[in-house]
Amino acid sequence: MTRRTAPDLFEPGLFEGTGFYDVFAWYRANDPVSWQHPAGEAEGFWSVTRYHDVVSVHRDSTRMSSAKGMRLGSTGRAVDAVANRMLIVADPPDHTRMKRVLIQPFSNDVLSRAEDYVERVVADVVATAVTQPGPDLIRQLERIPTDVICAIMGLPRDDWEWIGRKTTEAFESPSEVRRITANGEIFKYFSDMVRENRRTGANEFISGLTAQNADGTGLTDEELVFNFSGILAGGNETTRFTLAALTLQLVEHPDQWDRILRGDVEPGVATEEALRWSVPGMHVLRTATEALTVGDVEVEPGQRVVTWIGSANRDTEVFDDPDTFDVGRAGNRHLSFGAGRHMCLGSRLARLEIAAYLRTLRGMVRAMTLEGEPRYNGSNFTWGLNELPVVLHA
C-alpha cells in the first residue's frame, strides 16, 4: 500500500487560484489538525481545517489569545505595537471594553437609517458600470464599501478615493515597504483627524466614540487611530471581495443568475451563500495560553493555532454539496464573519451592502458577460479576486 504524502498548503502560487480547496479537503479527511512550519515563519503552528474544530478555537477566548497576533507573517514588533489597543489583536478585558464602544455605530438602529444611502450608492455604481463599462469591474465595485464606510465615519468626500486606495495598498501590496508606508499614512491621517476633532467636535462619528460611557470608559486617541484602520479594512476589503466573487459565480452559473432574476430567492438568503463562497478572511491565528485539546491533538501553552475559514466553509459534515454554489442554500452556517467574541463588527453592514447589490442587479441588469481571465490576489489571509473583467448589460 502506498502512503499518501500530505500536500503542501504553502506551495507558492497556491492561492492564486482555487486549487487550495482540494488541499483543504485532503487535510479534513486525513490530518484535520496538522503541524505546519512553512518557510518564512520563525516557528510552526497547528493548522485546523474542520468546521467544528475551527468554531471551538474561535469561541475559546479563555485559553486562546489574539493579543499575540491574528495572522501569519506578522512581525512581533508590529503586533506588540497594537496589542490590546486594536480590537482584532486584543483579549478581555480590553477587547470587551473596546468592542462595547466600537459596536455602537454598527447597531441595527444606526444601520437601518443608513439603508437608503446604501441603496443609492449601489444603484449609482451599477448604473455607471452598465453605461461606462471598464476593463475591470472590481474598480467600480470597490466604490460600494468605500463610499459607505467613509460616509458612516464622516470622512471628507474628497478623501474617499485616497482612503480606498491606501487601504488596498496597506493590505494587498506585494511590496512590504508599500504596505508599511500605506499603513503609516492611514495612521497619520486619522491621528490628525482625531486631534482636530478633540478641538472642534465636528465629526459626530469620532465624538460618539470618544464620549465617556456610563461605566466611565471610552477610547483613547491611540485606540481610535488603530481601530479606525481596522474598521476601514473590514468595511472595504472583505465586502469588495464578496461582491466580486458573487458576480463571477452568477456569470459562471446562469441557472443561479436566473433564480435571482425571477425573484425565486430572497436577496438575504443569496447573500449568505455569497459570503460562504467568497471567504474574504481565509485564516485566523490564535496563541494558546493554556494546554488544551483541538480535535485529537494536544496543544501546548505558547503554541500557535491557525484556523482555515475557507476549509470550514466547505466541510461536508456541515454543508451539503459544499463545492456547489447555491444561492438558495438554507441554514447556511458559514464562518466568514468568524465566531465567538471576535465575530466581525461590520457583519450587518456587509450583509446590507451585498443584499442591496443583488436587488439592484435584478432591477437594472439582464445579462453579464466575462470578457477575460479573472485573477486572484494570491493571499492566504485576505483572499479574493483583484481582477474581474465582467461587463454588465442593461
Average pLDDT over residues 321-347: 94
pLDDT digits (tens, 9 = 90+) for 70-92: 989 877 777 888 888 899 999 99
Which helix (DSSP H) or strand (DSSP E) does residue 293 occupy?
Answer: strand 292-294
| Displacement of CA 329 from its chain's centroid (Å) | 21
Task: Say how many CA atoms lie within 13 Å of 18 toward its Cβ.
Answer: 11
Average pLDDT over residues 95-123: 90
- Per-residue CA distances from 142 to 121, 164, 263 (Å): 11, 8, 25
At residue 217, does pLDDT exceed 70?
A: no
At residue 356, does pLDDT exceed 80?
A: yes
At residue 172, does pLDDT exceed 80?
A: no
Question: Quick check: 228 and 153 in contact, CB under 8 A?
Answer: yes
Q: Which of 21-25, 97-101, 236-240, 253-257 has the lowest mean pLDDT?
A: 236-240
The pTM assigned to this predicted structure is 0.93
CATH hierarchy code of domain 14-393: 1.10.630.10
> Under DSSP, is residue 367 helix (H, G, I), strand (E, B) or coil?
strand
- d(Cα 133, Cα 140) in Å, to the nearest integer? 9
- What amino acid occupies position 6? A
Residue (of 393, 345, 339, 346) closest to 370 by Cα position: 393
Beta strand pairing call for 283-288 and 64-65: antiparallel
Q: What percent of the chain has pLDDT over 90?
A: 67
- Per-residue CA distances from 86 to 40, 173, 228, 377 (Å): 25, 22, 9, 26
Q: Which residues 6+ apart lie within 8 Å of 234 measured at CB?
A: 344, 345, 346
Question: Quick check: 337 and 344 in contact, CB under 8 A?
Answer: yes
Q: What is the pLDDT of residue 216?
A: 56
pLDDT digits (tens, 9 = 90+) for 151-160: 989 999 999 9
Q: What is the pLDDT of residue 48?
A: 98
- d(Cα 337, Cα 278) in Å, to the nearest integer? 11
- d(Cα 287, Cα 284) in Å, to the nearest integer? 10
Q: Which of 35-39, 287-291, 361-365 has the lowest mean pLDDT?
A: 35-39
| Phi, psi dihedral angles at 25 (to 5 degrees) | -60, -40
Residues in the chain: 394
Name the grid cell of 66: 489574539
Name the grid cell of 254: 446562469
Q: What is the pLDDT of residue 1?
A: 33
What are the residue ranges spanned by the domains of the chain? 14-393
- What amino acid occupies position 127? A
Q: Which residues 6+ apart lie within 8 Å of 12 measured at CB?
A: none
Which one has a higher pLDDT value, 2 or 309?
Answer: 309
Q: Which residues 6+ apart lie within 8 Å of 352 measured at CB?
A: 111, 114, 115, 118
Compute how many other C-beta atoms are within 10 angstroms of the C-beta atom of residue 158: 7
Complete DSSP assignment for 62-110: TTEESTT-SSTT--HHHHHHHTTTSGGG--TTHHHHHHHHHTGGGSHHH
Average pLDDT over residues 44-61: 96
Rounded to a whole number of angstroms, the distance between the first and last alpha carbons of the chain is 58
